[in-house]
Amino acid sequence: MKQVISTDKAPAAIGPYSQAVEVNGMVYTSGVIPVNPATGEIPEGVEAQARQAFSNLSNLLEAAGTSMAQAVKTTVFIKEMNDFGKINEIYAEYFTKPYPARSCVEVARLPKDVLLEIEVIALK
């Protein structure tokens, strides 16, 4: 059985998709971008955007009844691979050992022209 997860503590879906879905004890998030859900603002700079995106993601996982500590796989999409080191440092603040498996790819463009987007698969 599929259960849709949503929260106002993460950016609302801007298309025909769910913020997250739970299936068989696993939570699959959509890509989360660094929009402040209270104001709709996007912070300036890659570090501020990374912190906002990870905060949004944490809030979404919490709404699903799980946490960043239960993440088993992440995918990080970044606008500029030269920002990898900065994003990686902030990533390490939100995920603890044992770290989830991860893919990180540079992309040409992201929604709202943000600098990164992240999605997670987590245990419930």
Q: Which of 90, 104, 110, 121 is catalytic?
A: 104
| Lookup: tokens for 36 | 């402040």
34/4 Cα distance (integer angstroms)? 21
104 as an active site residue: the answer is yes
In 64-102, alpha helices (H): 84-94
In eight-state DSSP terms, residue 21 is E
Catalytic residues: 104
